Structure 1
Amino acid sequence: MSTRPTLTREDWIQAAQRMLIKGGIDTVRIDNLAKELNITRGSFYYHFKSREDLLQSLLINWRARATENIIQQLGSSPYSPSERLQQLLSLPFRGNAAREAAAFEIGIRGWARRDPLARQAMDEVDSHRLRYIESVLKQMGYKDQQAHDTASLIYAYQLSISIVLPNLPTAERFEQHQRIIQQWLNVPTD
């Protein structure tokens, strides 16, 4: 008798994430997931009430991993505000995990274009991230409006860095990135 590994709720969420990245939200179906995981649908219903429950869990997982955990780690670090901003801006250059996170982010954003639940989650995450960047800039000495405007610019840059010029050598992209953030780290005067 062969024993199958017991799948956890997290296993199903991770499979849904991979499926979202590969084929978009329409491919994230219970049958497709069960087939990919080589298990029956019954395991799914042990962990989730419905596909909607899974999708909501996927969004909660994304928010926690891509926003809450990062902000918490930076907030509890001994870094200065400038160093926290540098750490945040270096995330897209952290290897395979960064590439996977960027692909997941793109999948979520594509889904949010047509689904109110995903759109609401994305709007909340965007707002939370912007407020965090703005607060760091204020700690660095930026005035309210400067912090708000610069946070918007930094956030747009942060989102695009993983998708603009992805074939440019990583070292060259990182050098350019370093020059750009050094300009932002100089506190502007009125």
Structure 2
Amino acid sequence: MPKSQPVPLHREDPDKPELVGNIKVTREDWLNVARDILVSDGVGEVKVLTIGQRLGVSRSSFYWYFKSRKHLLEALLDDWEARNTATIVSHCRMPARSINAAVCNFFRCFIDPDLFDQGLDFAVREWSRRSGSVRQRIDAADSTRLQAVQEMFERYGYAPDDADARARILYYMQLGYHALEVREPMSARIDRLEQYLVGFTGVAPEPEDIEDHKAFCLSVGSG
């Protein structure tokens, strides 16, 4: 399963303003460590004491930012939606010269870990197996994401029923690709890109669609 990308604590990041007074960690620090624990160990291990030990602070710091563990878990879900669902929606709405270029924008979310946290997405899905309320949020997020992909196809002239089917094929394939933990170099995926795009859109891509996407892949170190 993909892992979330560790984020330096505020006090360890030279780009962040210096902490003053008795503040040793920030709300973002609590969320970052909670997210890492959620991804690596599951929601059952997201505990105030455990997070505090990793941060090197007392429990009182936690209650400065959160009312309770439940409040922290709600914040984690909000963070997940902002990181992952909002990213997919925004990339589906990005201007593109063709449907194939638009699909490549969608692919970017799953190539750059700064755009879409795959480990976090799977951790929340695993969490939803044990929580009906989290299951509802997963279902709502998937519906929002699928709607964005469908609207992307419709903008390029696809009929609603056709756009709906293509959106589901594209979205479910992409999630399944990572759920199966397919191991292959990015160069192999790029070699298949033209055929993938034809399969998803029914339209042969222009050479610049392939070259632009390849350049993006190499720019994020995935090649």
Q: Aligning the two structures, in what range does the TM-score lie when normalised by the shorter sequence? A: 0.7 to 0.9
CA displacement 1:37-64 (0-9 Å, x = unmatched): 1111111110000111000000011101
Instruction: Please give the residue correspondences for 1:25-36 in structure 2 after superposition, counting only pairs within 5 Å.
Output: 25-36=43-54
Q: Given the alignment, which residue of 95, 116, 120 partners 1:78?
A: 95
User: Aligned equivalents of 2:60 and 2:50: distance in 1?
Assistant: 13
In structure 2, give the amino acid aligned to 1:30: V
In structure 2, give the amino acid aligned to 1:158: Q
Query: How far 1:174 moved relative to its partner?
Result: 3.7
Gaps of 5+ in 2: 1-20, 204-223
User: Is the 1:81–1:137 Cα contact (8 Å) retained in structure 2?
Assistant: no
Q: Given the alignment, which residue of 129, 137, 149 partners 2:145?
A: 129
User: Is the 2:39–2:119 Cα contact (8 Å) retained in structure 1?
Assistant: yes
Cα distance change, pair 165–62 in 1 and its aligned pair in 2 (3 A): closer
User: Aligned equivalents of 1:106 and 1:87: distance in 2?
Assistant: 22
Query: How far 1:153 moved relative to its partner?
Result: 1.0
Query: How far 1:165 moved relative to its partner?
Result: 4.5
User: Aligned equivalents of 1:81 and 1:41: distance in 2?
Assistant: 53
Instruction: Please give the residue correspondences for 1:59-78 in structure 2 after superposition, counting only pairs within 5 Å.
Output: 59-72=77-90, 74-75=92-93, 77-78=94-95
User: Aligned equivalents of 2:23 and 2:188: distance in 1?
Assistant: 44
Matched, 1:93 2:118: no
Cα distance change, pair 162–22 in 1 and its aligned pair in 2 (3 A): same
Report what 1:51 is aligned to.
69
Q: Given the alignment, which residue of 20, 30, 35 partners 2:38?
A: 20
In structure 2, give the amino acid aligned to 1:79: A
Matched, 1:163 2:179: yes
Query: How far 1:25 moved relative to its partner?
Result: 0.7
Cα distance change, pair 121–40 in 1 and its aligned pair in 2 (3 A): same
Q: Normalized per residue, which structure has more helix?
A: 1
Instruction: Please give the residue correspondences for 1:139-178 in structure 2 after superposition, counting only pairs within 5 Å.
Output: 139-178=155-194
In structure 1, give the amino acid aligned to 2:192: Q
User: Aligned equivalents of 1:174 and 1:16: distance in 2?
Assistant: 35
User: Is the 2:92–2:149 Cα contact (8 Å) retained in structure 1?
Assistant: no
Matched, 1:118 2:134: yes
Query: How far 1:74 moved relative to its partner?
Result: 5.0
Q: Given the alignment, which residue of 175, 190, 195 partners 1:179?
A: 195
User: Is the 1:31–1:41 Cα contact (8 Å) retained in structure 2?
Assistant: yes
CA displacement 1:89-122 (0-9 Å, x = unmatched): 232222x546x71111110100011112211211
Q: For this pair of structures, how many residues does the alignment match?
A: 182
Query: How far 1:154 moved relative to its partner?
Result: 1.0
Q: Given the alignment, which residue of 57, 75, 82 partners 1:39?
A: 57
User: Aligned equivalents of 2:41 and 2:52: distance in 1?
Assistant: 16
Q: Secondary structure at the match of 1:162?
A: helix
User: Aligned equivalents of 1:130 and 1:121: distance in 2?
Assistant: 14
Report % sequence identity. 27
TM-score (norm 2): 0.73
User: Is the 1:81–1:136 Cα contact (8 Å) retained in structure 2?
Assistant: no
Taking only aligned residues, the RMSD between alpha carbons, in angstroms, comes to 2.2
